[in-house]
Amino acid sequence: MRYKDEKCPICGKQLGINNRSGYCSRHLYLCPRVKEIRKAYRMSDRGKQVRKKYENSDKYKETRRKYLQSEKYKQAKREYYLRNKEKILKRNKKRRESKDGRRRYTDTSLKMNYNISIDEYEKLYNEQSGVCAICKKPEIRVLNGRPLRLGVDHDHVTGKIRGLLCSSCNTALGLLKEDPSIFISALEYLGYKVLGVRSVRSKLCEG
């Protein structure tokens, strides 16, 4: 039996005599019994179907997009990270070091930076027989005891993927500014005579 003067522990609102939860309607979700019921529903087949249908709706996607871009979410994310920094770093390290975790981490990184999936990367890797598209050699650099994967080379203007390169060749392209005329000058400086090099230079000069 409840007393007439019993109030909600969150907001202090007066509760009715027939209230058995101990919370007002606004804070009913905090009631342990309600939490159990909601959890059981979410884990049921019906609950999963309803949740999946809602997550695929345009309304949910738009609401989530706005929330993720809001300052409220960013502030909450920063505060949560600061409170649980050591725990998060330890968890992320453990995930990255696992086989499935490394694959998911690589897939996410490739999608964010180059808009390709790990399956597309592996297809291109197999087409190149696992070697650099320029020097035709595998990657030799090692990080944390594991060989680095071939880097994705792309056109910085169009974003089009050109191939996979080892770290040395990828760095060389960047240092030479991806300028064909500089490549030709380097070959001439080293004394190499490449077939058609003069015609290529003349075309570049005309352009």
Sketch out the chain's domains with CATH numbers. 1-43 (no CATH), 115-175 (3.40.1800.10)
The pLDDT of residue 140 is 85
Phi and psi at residue 134, to the nearest 5°: -100, -60
Q: Which pTM was predicted?
A: 0.48
Report the C-alpha gap between 131 and 138 in whole angstroms: 4
Sequence letter at residue 63: T
Task: Report d(CA 86, CA 106) in Å as an integer.
Answer: 23
pLDDT of the chain, 207 residues: tens digit per residue: 445 568 888 888 888 888 888 888 888 888 888 899 999 998 999 999 998 898 889 988 899 888 888 999 999 999 999 999 999 998 888 877 787 888 888 888 888 888 888 889 999 999 999 999 988 888 888 877 777 889 888 887 787 888 999 988 888 888 888 787 888 788 777 776 655 545 444 544 554
- Report how far residue 61's alpha carbon sits from residue 67's, in angstroms, rounded to the nearest whole number: 10
pLDDT, position 1: 47
What is the pLDDT, as a whole number, of residue 193? 61
Strand 142-143, strand 146-147: pairing: antiparallel
Contact 149, 139 (CB under 8 A): yes
